[in-house]
Chain A
Amino acid sequence: MMHWLTSTKNIEKKLKQHCDSVSLSEEKAKALKGRLMAALAERMPAETFGCETLAEKIRKLSLHVMPKEYFRVVLREKLITLIEFERRRFLFRLFERKFSRRMAASFLVFLFAASAFFRFGYGIEKASASFLTTIESVVGDVSVVRGEDVIQGAPGFVLKAEDVVRTGKDSKAVIRFLDQSVSRLDENTEVKLAKLFMNPLNKTETVVELVLQQGRIWARVINLVDNISHFQVRAQNTVAVAKRKAAFDVTVLPKGKAKVAAIKNKVDLVVATDRKVVEATLINGFSAEVKSATSSASPIKQEKIQDGKDQWVKDNLEQDIAYIETVKQEVKDERRGNAGLLPGNPLYPVRELSQSTNIAFTFDEFDRHQKMIFKASEKIDTAGVLLEKGEKEKARELLVEFQNETKAVVDWLTSLEGADPEKAAYLRNKVNELLNVYEKRLTLILPDDPLYEVKSAVGQSKVIAADTAVQKTEQKLSQASDKLLEAHELVESGNSTSAADQVKAYSSAISEVASEVKQFNSDQKEQIVTTLMDNKAEALKVLQAMASGTSSVIAPLSAETPTVVDEFSPSITSAENSASFVPAPDSATYALPEPGTTSLSAEVVSDDSAAQGAEAEKQTTAANQSELMRTVKVAQNETLVKLGEAVLDVQKEQASAEVLQKLQHFEKIDLNGKPLVDVQVSKNRIQLKSSGTVISVVGSTTPVSSITPSKDVLQEVLTPSPKPPKADSKTPISPQARP
Chain B
Amino acid sequence: METSDIQKYVSSSQNGDSDAFGKLYDAFIQPIFRYMHFRVGPEEAEDLTELVFLKTWENIRKYRSEEGNFSSWIFRIAHNLVVDHYRAKRQNAELTEDIPDVRIEANTLRRVHQKLDQEVLWKALHEAKDQYRQILILKFINGFSNEEISLIMGRSQAALRILQFRALRSLRRILENMGVSDVEQ
Contacts and interface: CB of A to CB of B under 8 A. Distances in A.
A536 to B, nearest CB: 49
Given A62-B141, A79-B53, A41 B172 contact: no
Nearest to B32: A67
B99 interface: no
B161 A61 contact: no
Contacts of B50: 75, 78
Interface residues of B, number: 46
Given A62-B34, A62-B140, A79-B53, A84 B168 contact: no
B162 A37 contact: yes
A520 interface: no
A410 B164 CA distance: 61
B158 interface: yes
A80 B22 contact: yes
B161 A47 contact: yes
Mostly, the B contact residues are helix
B51 to A, nearest CB: 11
A51 B168 contact: yes
Interface string A252-292: 00000000000000000000000000000000000000000
B178 interface: no
Contacts of A65: 33-34, 37-38, 118
A87 interface: yes
Nearest to B164: A47
A83 B21 contact: yes
Contact of A54 (B57, B165, B171): B171
Contacts of B158: 34, 37-38, 40-41
Interface in A28-50: 34, 37-38, 40-41, 44, 47-49
Contacts of A75: 25, 29, 49-50, 53
Interface string B34-59: 10011000000110011001100100
Interface in B152-185: 156-159, 161-162, 164-165, 168-169, 171-172, 175, 183-185
B116 interface: yes
Contacts of B68: none
Contact of A61 (B116, B157, B164): B116
Interface string B92-122: 0000000000000000000000001110010
B126 to A, nearest CB: 14
A58 B169 contact: no
Mostly, the A contact residues are helix
A726 interface: no
B140 A59 contact: yes
A87 B25 CA distance: 18
Interface string A630-643: 00000000000000
Contacts of B49: 67, 75
Contacts of B22: 76, 79-80
B140 A67 contact: no
A66 B35 CA distance: 10
A641 B93 CA distance: 92
A723 interface: no
A301 interface: no
B74 interface: no
A65 B137 CA distance: 12
A205 to B, nearest CB: 29
A37 B159 contact: yes
Contacts of B141: 58-59, 62
Contacts of A426: none
A62 B139 CA distance: 12
A41 B165 CA distance: 10
B120 to A, nearest CB: 9
Nearest to B145: A47
Contacts of A47: 139, 146, 161, 164
Contacts of B19: 80
A72 interface: yes
B185 A58 contact: no
Contacts of B183: 51, 53-54, 57
A79 B46 contact: no
A257 to B, nearest CB: 58
Contacts of B172: 51, 54
B18 interface: yes
B131 interface: no
Contacts of A49: 164-165, 168-169
A80 B118 contact: no
A62 B169 CA distance: 19
Contacts of B30: 66-67
A34 B54 CA distance: 38
B136 interface: yes
Nearest to B42: A65
A600 interface: no
B127 to A, nearest CB: 14
A389 interface: no
Contact of A62 (B21, B29, B38, B165): B38
A71 interface: yes
A262 B26 CA distance: 53
Contacts of A76: 22, 25-26, 29
A64 interface: yes
Contacts of A78: 50
Q: Which of A40, A47, A55, A71 has the most CB of B within 10 A?
A: A47
Contacts of A55: 140, 168
B118 A64 contact: yes
Contacts of B38: 62, 65
A61 B118 contact: yes
A61 B121 contact: yes
A282 B34 CA distance: 65
Contacts of A83: 16, 18, 21, 57
A643 B183 CA distance: 84
9 contacts: A54-B171, A54-B184, A62-B121, A66-B33, A71-B46, A79-B57, A82-B57, A83-B21, A87-B16
Interface of B: 16, 18-19, 21-22, 25-26, 29-30, 33-34, 37-38, 45-46, 49-50, 53-54, 57, 116-118, 121, 136, 139-141, 143, 146, 156-159, 161-162, 164-165, 168-169, 171-172, 175, 183-185
Identify the 9 closest CB pairs spanning chains A and B, nearest first: A62-B141, A83-B18, A67-B33, A37-B158, A58-B140, A41-B158, A51-B168, A41-B161, A49-B165
